[in-house]
Structure 1
Amino acid sequence: MTELHKLAKRQLKRFGIDDSLKTEHRDYFAAVSEAYVGYEQDVSTLERSLFLISEELNERNALLKNQLGELSETKNQLQSSLSVLNATFDATGENIVVYDVDGNVVSINCMGQTFFLQNGVTEYQRWSALLSLFKYPNQAVQVKQKLEEDPTRHINGVIELSSNRFFEYRSLPQIAEGKLIGRVWCFRDITQQKESEDLIQHQAYHDALTGLPNRNLLLDRVEHALALAKRSEQLLAVLFIDLDNFKRVNDTEGHKAGDELLIELVQRVKSRLREQDTLARLGGDEFVLLLESVANKQDIRLLCEELLAILTEPFCLSGRQHFVSCSIGVACFPQDDNNAEHLILKADMAMYQAKAQGKNNYQFYDQSLEQQAMLQVKVERELREALQADELEPYFQPKIDLSTGEIIGAEILMRWFKPDGSSIPPDIFIPVAETTGLISQVGKKAIDSAFECISQWRSQGLNHLKLAINLSIIEFQDAELIRYLLSKCDESNECGSQLIIELTESIFMENKEVISRTMEQLRTRGIAFALDDFGKGYSSFSYLQILPIDYLKIDKAFLQGVTTNKQSAAITRTIIDIGHNLELSVIAEGVEDQATLDYVMRERCQSAQGYFLYKPMPRNDFNELIKQECLQLAAGSE
C-alpha cells in the first residue's frame, strides 16, 4: 500500500481505524491521501499566489504613496507659484486686465480695479468699459479697428484718459493650443513722466528766467509765420532789441537785480503787443520780437517808438531808480529776406547800426548794412594778419604849450599801412578791433611804443615831455592789459610819470568804483589821466569830482564852430572855465586854422593839438622835430 499523506494518517489514527480496514479499503484511502496531497498543493499554490499578490500590492502601494507624495509636493509648489503669481499680479505696478474672446473680464489685479474706480467706472466686466475711458473717441475706434483686422496682433501706445492722466498701454493675445482664448491688457500711469517730458520740452524751447520762447522756438515760429505771410502776401517784421548800458546794472546792483529788470522789461514790452506777436529772449539782454500780419511800416515805427519810450522809464531795483534804454533793429518780409535765420541776422545788423547812431533809437535794415558787415569780416581777417606782420605803426601828433609855443609832448595814434602802400583809417579798424577782441593787442603795441619813446627821451634828458595814449572802455576794463601796463611801469624806471592815458566820457558810465580803483592803481606809477572829448558824451560833473582827472580835452566838434557859432563858442568857453575852476589843464583838440588857435589862446587854454599845428607823423620825424626844437631853444638861450 502506498504511503498515506500525513494528514490522512492523522485522521485514521484519530478515528481508530486499524490496518485491516486500511488494507480492505486501500484504494479508498489512497484516493483520500491523494486528495490531501492535491489539497496541500492547491493551498501551497494559493499561498504562493497570495504572497506574490501581496508583494505586488506592497510595491504598488509604495509607488502610490511615492506618487501621492510627489503630487502633494507638486500641489504645494503649484500653490506657492500661484501665490507668487497672484502677489506679482497685484504688485506689478501696472493695471492688468484679462478678457476672454467675448470681451468679458476673466481676471483683474487690484491696481486694475483701482484704475477703473478712480476713473469713475464701477461696472468694468466688459471690454467696452475700457474703451469708454479714452478721452478721445477716435483713439478707441482706432484700437478697435486694429484688433478687428488682426485679433492676434500685439498693440501698444499712449492714451489720455478723460481724467487728463496719461497711460502707456500694451496688449497681447492669450493663445492656448494654437487657439485665441482672450487678451491681456496692461496699463502704466506715465502722467508724471509725461509732465517731466513736457517740462524738458518746454525748457528746450523757452528761456528759464522769463519763460519766453528761446532761439529754437523763435526760429520755428518765424518759419511758420513766413509760410503764412507768403500765402497771404502780408508784411512781417522781426525786431532785434538790445538793452543799452545793462551791464552797468549788473555791475552796480548784482545779477539778481539785473534779472528783476529783465522780467519787468518783458512785462512792459508784452503790454504793447498783440496776441499773435511773439517776444523771444536770445540770451543776456537780447530780445527778438516777431510781428505777424503787419499793415504797414508806419505801424512798425509807432511800436518801436512806444518801446523806446516805455523802456526809458525808470526801473526801481533795491529801492533805487535805474535807467536803461534800448537799440532796435528791424528787418521785414518780403523786402529784406524770406528766410527766418537771415531775417533775424539782418535785424541784428540793423540793431548794431542803431547802437552806432548813439543808442536809444531804431533802424531799419538796408543792404549797406550787409556790405558793412562783409567789410568788417574782411577788415578783421586782414587786421589779424597785420598784427602778426607788425603792420601797425605808431604816429605822433605833437602838443604845444599855448603860452610858449613849445612842444610839450604828443599823442600816439596807431596807423595801419599795408605792404602795397595803402592804409586803413583808424575809424575803420579800431571799431573792428573792439568788437573782435583784437583791441588789447593794438593797445599793447601802443603801450610798448610809448615806453620805448619815453625811455629814449629820459636817456636824452627830455623828462619834461608827456606822451598820451588812448584806451577805450574795453581796454581799460581788460584786467590783463592793465597788469601789462603796470608791469611796463615797474620795468622802466619812472617812465610812468611821463605817460598820460586819455579816456572818453563813456567809460564813466560803467562801474565807477572799479574804474576809480584802476585809475588810482595806475596813479601810483605816476600816470596822469585826460578826459577826452569832454561835452560830447555823458557829461557829468560828479565824476570830475570823484575820479582823478588831470587834463580836460575839448572835443574838436565844438572848436570847429567857435569863430562862427555863438553856441559852440559858449559851450567851449564853459568847458574851459570848468577846467580852470577845477584846476585841470585844458587841451584844445582839433585846431585846424589860425582863427581857432587865436580863440583858444585868448580863452587861456594851456595846450593844443591839431592839423594846423602839426599833423601826426612817424616816430623818427617826431624825434627829429624835438631835436630841432631843442637846438633852437639852445641857440636862443645863448
Structure 2
Amino acid sequence: MAESTTTRARRRGIALWCYLTALVTVPLIGVGVLTTLIAGARSAEVDSAARADQGVRAVAGLDALRAATEQEILPALALTVIDDPAAAQQLGVQPWLLGTVRSTAEQALAERRTLTDQALAAVPEGSLGSAVVGRVDEALAWLRARSDAGDVRLEQIYLGYLDISNEVMTAERAAAAAAVSEGVPARTVRAVQDVQTVAQLAQDAGRQMPLYLGSLFAPDDALIGSRLAWETGWLSYTDAKRQMDELSSGSLRTAWQEVRQSDLMTELDTLLTPSDAPDEFVTDTTRMTDLLFSSGDRDMQLAGLVDTAVDTAVTLAAGDREEAAADLRTTLQVGVGLLLLSVVGAVWMGRTVSRKLGVLAGQATQISQGELVEVEVDGPREVRTVSAALGEAVAGLRRIQDQAQAVARGDLDDALLDQPLPGPLGEVVHASIQQIVSSVRQREELQFALAHRATHDPLTELPNRAQALTLVTSALHRARRSSEMTGLLFVDLDGFKAVNDAHGHAAGDTVLRKVAARMRSLVRAGDVVCRLGGDEFVVLVEPVETERDLQELAERLIAGVSEPIVVGGATVRVGASIGIAVSRDGGADADVLFAEADTAAYRAKQHGRGRAEVFDEALRSALALRAETEAAITAALGNGEMRLHYQPVVDVADQRLHGYEALVRWQRDGVFVPPDEFIPVAEMSSLVCDLDRWVLGEATRQLAAWRAEVPPVPGEPEPTMAVNVSGRHLTDPRLVTAVADALAASGLPPHLLVLEVTETVLVDDPVAMTHLSRLRDMGVAIAIDDFGTGYTSIGQLRHMPVDTLKIDRSFVTSPDPGQRELVALIIRAAHTFGLSVVAEGVEEPLQLQRLRQQACDHAQGFLLHRPLPAEAAGALLRPVPDGVPAPRTDGEPVPAS
C-alpha cells in the first residue's frame, strides 16, 4: 500500500523537462518582445522614409521658389538701369529706344513675378519649408513695391533679392539636412547632395549677369557695381562648376556636360569672365537685350538640370519608403516564424539538457559575480555548445581584462591592444579601447603642440621672447658651472618697414620667414636663433671662444640677411644691425644680457646701420644713465611730479568734441621732460606698467570729475577718455584687474574708457588678444594706435577685439596721392568691419577737408587742439554763454607721446 502511494506521488510530480520548458518560456516571451520591438523599429523606418520623402519634395518646392525669385533679379535691375539717365548716356542711345526696351523688361518682370507667386503658392502648408514662405512673401512684396516706386538703388534691389534667395537656399539646405538625417540610404543622400550641388550652380550662375551689368552701370563705390563683387561672384560660380564634376549620378553628369559644352554656355562664360579689356563690355542695347535673353535661356537650362536632380531624388526617396514597408512585412513574418520555432525548440531542448544544467548554472553564477572560471564542457551536444560559448565569452572577458590593465598602467604600445575581440560586442569594446588610446595620444600631442605654441613664434617657428629668456637663463647657469663665455647677438632688421609699406604685410611675413631660415643656416648646430617680435631677433651662442668669433658670426649674419629676397616676383632687400653682448663666466642676469645686446644694436643703428657693435663701457654708462632715469621715474610717480595733458578728439563732420586722449607729462624741477626721453626708458622695464596704472587711475578720475561738474545732456553722446597701454603692460596678468580697479575707484562707466594699443603687440602676443577680449567683455573700448606702421593686414581686423582704428599721422600728413588713397581704403575697410576711425596729426585745413570727404569719423591734431592741461581741457565741456568768447586752446606746441 505504501509503495503504491509512493509511486503515485512520483507520478504526480512534474517532470524536469516541464520545469525547463517553463523556464525557457521566459526567453520566448523576450523573443516575442524583441520581435515586437524590431517590428516597431521597422515601422519607425517606414515613418522616417516617409519624412525623408516629404523632405526631398520640400527641397524641390523650395528650389523652384529660389529659382523663380532669382529670375526676377535681371528684369528688375534692367528697369532700374533703363530709368537711370546716366545709364542711357553710357549706352549712347536715345531715351525713346530705352523706352522700347523698358516695355520688354516690364513684360519679363511681370511674367517672372507670376512664376514666383506660383512657386510660393506651390509650397504646401505644414511642410518643412513652409515657415519661410511667409517671410519671403512679405520681403518680396516690400521689395517689389519699393522697386516699382523707383526709390531704391541698383545695389539695394540686388541685395534685397539676394537676401531672399539666400533665405530660401538656407531653408532648402535645412530641408535637405532633415531629409538625409532620417537614416536614408547612401544613394538617396548622394541624390539630395546632387540637388544641392546643381541648385548652388544655378544660384551662382543666376547672379553673374546682375553683377556683370552692375559693374557696367553702377557707381564705382556701389557694392554690386564693384569689380571685386563681380570677380568674387565669378569665383563662386567657377567653384560651383567644379563641384558639378563630383555629381554621383552618371546621367546627371552627362546632361551637365551637354549643357556645359553648349554654345550658349560657352558664349556666356566667355563674356562674363572678368577681364581688364574694356572692348569686351557690352555697350549696345540690342546686344544687351540678346544677352539678357541668353542669360535667361542659360538659367532655364540649369533649372532643367535642377529639375532632373530633384526628380531623381524624389524617385529614390519614394523607393526608400516602399523598401522600408517591405522590410517591415518581412520582419513580421520572420519574427512570427522564429517565435514558433522557439516554442518547439524549447520543449525539445528541455528534455535533453536537464542533467548538466545545474553545473552550468553554477559556473554561470560564478562568472556573473566576476570570477572568470574555467567552464567544463560536458553533457549533451546542446549543453556542450552552451558551455563552449560560455568558455569563449570567458576568454573574451580575460582579453578585455588584459587590455584594460595595459591601458591602466599606461602601456599604450602593448601589442595586446591591437588584437581585435570577436563578435559585435567585441568590436564595440575594442573600438572603445582604441578610442581611449587615441584620446590619450591626442592629449599628449595636444599638450606638446600647446607647449610648442607657447614657446615659439607662429610665423617663423623660432623660439619666442619668453622662450629666448628661458634659454639664455639656462645657458648662463651652464656657463657659471663651466666658467665659459656666453654670447648674445641682438639682430634688428634695417629697411623692413619699407618692404611692408611698398609690398604689403604678406610680403613682410615672407621676408621674416626667409630671414629666419638664413640665420638658422648660418649659425652652428648648438646655437639658437629666436624671434623677439616684429623685426627683432636674437642669437644665443654657447660656448664662445673669443669675442672675435661673435663678430665674425655677426658679419656673416649681416651678409646673409642682406642678400636679395624674391617676394611675389619682386626683389627686395633688407639689412641688419647687430648688437653683441658677452657674459664671460655666466655671472650676468639674462635681462641684463638682453639689455646690453639691445643697447649695442641701438648704437649700431645710430652709427649707420648694417654693422655690428659690441657692448662696451660707453654703453654700460648709457645703461647706468637709463637706470638713473628709471629711479627718477619711480620717484616722480611717488612725489606727484607726473602730469596728464589731454588732447581733444573731435568729430570730423561738425568738429564737436568727441573725447580726449590722455598724454603723460613729467614736470621735473619745474621743467617738463620731453616724453621721448623718459617713456622709452620706462618701456624697457616693468616700470611702464606702474606708469600705465597711474595714467589709468588719473585719467578715469579726471573724466569722472568733469562729468560731475558738467552733467551729460540726456540723449547726447558723452566724451570718452583714451589711454595708451604699452605692449609690456598689455601682456601683464594684472592688466584686467588694474583697469577694473581704476573704473571702480573713479565710478566712470566702462564704455567711456578707450584703451589704445599698438598693432605689433596684437599680432605677436596671443596673451594680449586674450586680455583685450576680457576688457571688451567688461565694456571697455579698444583702439589700434598708429595703424599702418605695424604688421596688421586689413583682413585681420574682422578677427581682432577692437572698436577703433587710429591712422598714423605719417599717412594723414603725406602729400603722396598713394598715401591719401591708402587712408581712404583704411577708412572704408574699417567701416566695413564696423569700426570707427580717428585720424592723427591733422595740422592743415586741407587735410581735415580730405578726411571729411573720405567719411572719417574723428580727428585730432594741432589744427584742432593741442594737448591741454586739465583745467583748459575741462573748459571745453562747459557751455559758453552768448557773447562770451570761447576759451583759447592754442599755445606753444607740446611734444606728443
TM-score, normalization by structure 2: 0.36
Computing the radius of gyration over CA atoms, which structure comes out larger, 1 or 2? 1
The structure with the greater share of residues assigned to strand is: 1
The structure with the greater share of residues assigned to helix is: 2
Select the structure with the greater relative contact order (CA < 8 A; seq sep ≥ 6).
2
